[in-house]
Amino acid sequence: MRLLIQPNYNSVSYWTAEYIIKEINKAQQKDKKFVLGLPTGSTPLGTYQYLINAYNDKRVSFKDVITFNMDEYVGIAEDHPESYHFFMRKNFFDHIDIQQENINILNGNAEDLEKECNDYEEKIKSVGGIDLFLGGIGPDGHIAFNEPGSSFTSKTRIKTLTEDTIVANSRFFDNDMTKVPKTALTVGVETILSAKEVIIIANGHSKARALAKVIEGGISQRWTVSALQLHPKGIIVCDEQAVYEITVGTYRYFKQLEKDNLINID
Ligand code: PGA
């Protein structure tokens, strides 16, 4: 597992966007579709903006990119401003040349939610699996909505959100916990680990405790992102604040190891 400690959020976002652009362009040169797993949340906003900028500068096209989002709340309308359908359109899809039929987001209003989840897994398989899964990390170490205790062999399914997550996400629902949906559909830990590459982005102090567990602790479903340690091509890209709780030795080790991949964009 690689760990890139960038000086700030902008550098995290820029580096991640450039990495994704390179991978998409590589696939395009081989005439291959690129399958990209995507998160919502505040962390990826900078990356999405850099990807949009690169599209506007004609450095990348999303015409042959197929996306699968990680998760969606159960029971809120797709045009609700806090639905992940809405989020993705507003912050990314409406600004690039992705084809509508290549966008996949779980339907949290499906009549048969279990079938919806199983069909999602089948759809991922039918396009040859996910090439690169981009994700964030929750303060409790969750990845997508795989809350602490989620099995590493989990697939797409319905999950109950923890109080930690409901509190964290209430900032998007007028700071009112009662307005936050209590369940969500989410890809599983195994769905994410099955991707050929996984990049986890994190910034800010609120992620420091979880990142210390993931980087220095053992593999544990108590901190589901720690499953990344099992992945052959897992990368964490974070800012300085997000590694506030790792030891000085670990910090220096990764800074030295990745010194050629660190950038500084204000
Ligand atoms: P955030 O959420 O990017 O809004 O911090 C990340 C997550 O909960 O996975």
Within 6 A (CB) of ligand 1 lie 41-43, 136-138
Distance from the alpha carbon of residue 29 to the mean position of ligand 1, in angstroms = 33
Residue 165 has pLDDT above 90, yes or no: no
Our CA dihedral for 73, 101, 39, 160, rounded to 10 degrees, sits at: 20
Convert the pLDDT of each residue in 43-86 to its tens digit. 999 999 999 999 999 999 999 999 999 999 999 999 999 999 99
Distance 141 CA to ligand 1 centre (A): 10
- Of 135, 134, 161, 140, the residue nearest 207 (C-alpha): 140
- Dihedral over alpha carbons 177, 136, 25, 104 (to 10 degrees): -40
Contact, 168 vs 249, CB < 8 A?
no
* Residue to mutate (ligand 1; options 40, 43, 209; most atoms within 8 A of CB): 43
pLDDT of residue 168: 87
**Rounded distance from Cα 168 to ligand 1 centre (Å):** 8
- Given 23, 71, 131, 197, the catalytic residue: 71
Q: What is the pLDDT of residue 63?
A: 98
Query: What's the confidence (pLDDT) of residue 260?
Result: 97
Q: Per-residue pLDDT tens for 119-142?
A: 999 999 999 999 999 999 999 999
User: pLDDT of 186-208, one tens digit each?
Assistant: 999 999 999 999 999 999 999 99
Q: Which of the four pLDDT bands, split at 50, 70 and 90, describes residue 30?
A: very high
Note every long-range contact of 121-130, with CB atoms under 8 Å and residues 24 or more positions apart, other chains counting.
121/155, 121/156, 121/191, 123/68, 124/35, 124/68, 124/191, 127/33, 127/35, 127/66, 128/33, 128/35, 129/35, 129/194, 129/195, 129/196, 130/35, 130/36, 130/37, 130/68, 130/191, 130/194, 130/195, 130/196
Q: Whose CA is nearest to atom 8 of ligand 1?
A: 138
Question: 176 an active-site residue?
Answer: no
As given in the structure block, the two tokens for residue 167 are 């509190």
Strands 132-135 and 34-38: parallel
Task: Name the percent of the chain lying above pLDDT 90.
Answer: 97
Using only C-alpha atoms, the chain has a radius of gyration, in whole angstroms, of: 17
With cut-offs at 50, 70 and 90, classify the pLDDT of residue 256: very high
pLDDT tens column, 204-235: 999 999 999 999 999 999 999 999 999 999 99
Ligand 1 atom with the shortest distance to the CA of 144: 9
3-state secondary structure 196-236: CEEEEEECCHHHHHHHHHHHHCCCCCCCHHHHHHHCCCEEE
- The answer to whether residues 173 and 82 touch, using CB atoms and an 8 Å cutoff, is yes
pLDDT of residue 164: 82
Work out the percent of the chain whose per-residue pLDDT is above 70.
100
Q: How far is the CA of 137 from the centre of ligand 1 (A)?
A: 6
* pTM, rounded to two decimals: 0.96
Q: Would you call 57 a catalytic residue per the annotation?
A: no
Interval 28-57 mean pLDDT: 98
